[in-house]
A and B are shown apart, each in its own frame.
Chain A
Amino acid sequence: MKKLLLGTAALAVTASVAFAGSHSVVRMGTEGAYPPYNFINDAGQVDGFERELGDELCKRAELTCEWVTNEWDSIIPNLVSGNYDTIIAGMSITAERDEVIDFTQNYTQPDPSAYLVMAGNEGVALEGAVIAAQTNTIQASFVAEMGATLLEFASPDETIAAVRNGEADAVLADKSFLTPIADEGGDLVMLEREELIGGGVGMGLRESDGELKEKFNAAIQSMKDDGSLNTLIAKWEIGAAF
């Protein structure tokens, strides 16, 4: 047992030497188009729940962090290719993704997906309806499977616009993304029905980057323990607390 411990200790030392070299700055990759998780504010900076969370995690893990934005479609290929070191972009932990990259423990509770429809159209039968979703999201796959007519758009904005202009009966997306839109009190309302599709959201890392993963896991755990994570979740209305 002692020998084994010594072995891991030695491994940890060499790993952290290599680590210090490659990670003097940790580059945090995000999308910047998914409020309240992450968005570009009026000042042109990355802002949102994940910005505050990420900065706090880096402080606790004693890392220097830097924010980078990347298109959603190529966000994982660019991570494994080494263009940045983490993905912190409202990415749900799924089995498919977990095969290719590693996730930290989740920092949000599983966020249900919700439907947004035009006011007055709440009675629509969803199974036979036209439902808009963003291309290549878990919601898109879900709609394809439930048998409704799926209409795919490149960006979240376009899915909302599609409901407004009557191209689609409803849009399916993360509830925390739809809530501020429904709250505006305009023409769009949220349905009672919710779908539990994704797991919680976690940070994505390269599978070979175990050291960094442990640091962030520890930092997330400490934020869960002292309640500061719940404060952030409440502030940005991300969903249920831990």
Chain B
Amino acid sequence: MSCWETLADYGLRSLGYGERLLPRDELTICQQVVLIGSGMLWNIYFGVLSVIVGFMLATAVALGKASQSALWRKLSEWFIFLFRGSPLFIQFFFAYFLFLSLKSSFPAASVFTSAWSGALVVLILNTAAYSGEIFYGALMSVPKGDIEAADAYGFKGWSKFRKITWPTMLRLAWPAYTNEAIFLFHATTLVFFSGFPARQQQGDALYYASYFADKTFNPFIPYPILAGYFILLTLIIITLFGIVNRRLNRHLPQNDRPRLKLKPRLLR
């Protein structure tokens, strides 16, 4: 069987298309590369969706923590404490338990016992807490002069936030936020590893890598393949976030534009 046929048979196996059964004997490197790559689709799905939704939620959390109202402030602080202070591994475990017990009282909650939705919720909340803390730090560092100037120009309320505070906050937070995004993608490997079960042998890259490690009894091939995919993914994320960074800083004179320096700040 040529490698192209393998790609046709297993390229979308993680989503349930193609061959029903996984390859079982005479496993080739090609099969491992294709199937682990197919599993990456799940990592990308979890990563992209939780970055997008988590971003919005994180802005709300940051504003909540900076808010005048003690209720919102406390709520945001506890949210951040709970999700930043505990390992994701344990969060997945509890989420699965929680969704199961919800299911018995509200049948509608049964969708959340599947990885595609339940794990997504956990990842969104998790990244919202981490990014919320980053955004809060940036919000506190927005130069006083910027706000005073906005007041002088008559900006108020929503438009002041939308046009002045928020862009500055993003610009300040962006390098740290890029790191958070990278680690979020790395964290997606934990989905099927702890807590959520894999259905019909449709799993993420790590699921297939450990499948091959188990079938070939040789961990030295599948895990490095997995590592290769993630290095590639990390490079893509850095490039995309670099483009956004350039756009955020496009008004600055050429020499003052901060290059995207990646200092690791937070991961889980």
Contacts and interface: CB of A to CB of B under 8 A. Distances in A.
Contacts of B25: 96
A135 interface: yes
Given A132-B197, A152-B198, A80 B217 contact: yes
Query: In which size bucket is the chain A interface?
Result: 20 to 34
Interface of A: 73-74, 76-77, 80, 96-97, 100-101, 132, 135-136, 141, 144-145, 149-154, 158, 162, 165-167
A178 to B, nearest CB: 19
Nearest to A132: B197
A150 B211 CA distance: 15
B22 interface: yes
A165 B97 CA distance: 10
B215 interface: yes
Given A73-B210, A167-B100, A167-B113, A151 B218 contact: no
Nearest to A150: B200
Given A77-B219, A165-B103, 10 more contacts: A76-B217, A132-B197, A144-B20, A144-B21, A144-B22, A150-B199, A152-B199, A152-B203, A154-B193, A167-B197
Residue among A135, A144, A162 with the most chain B CB within 10 A? A135
Given A144-B22, A145-B21, A100 B197 contact: no
A137 to B, nearest CB: 9
A169 B52 CA distance: 36
Interface residues of B, number: 25
B201 A150 contact: yes
Residue among B104, B197, B211, B218 with the most chain A CB within 10 A? B197
A162 B201 CA distance: 17
B15 to A, nearest CB: 15
20 contacts: A73-B210, A73-B214, A76-B217, A77-B213, A77-B219, A96-B24, A96-B215, A136-B210, A144-B20, A144-B22, A144-B201, A149-B199, A150-B199, A150-B201, A151-B199, A152-B198, A152-B199, A152-B203, A165-B100, A167-B100
Contacts of B100: 165, 167
Contacts of B211: 136
The 9 closest A-B pairs by CB, nearest first: A136-B214, A100-B217, A76-B217, A152-B198, A151-B197, A165-B100, A153-B197, A77-B219, A152-B197
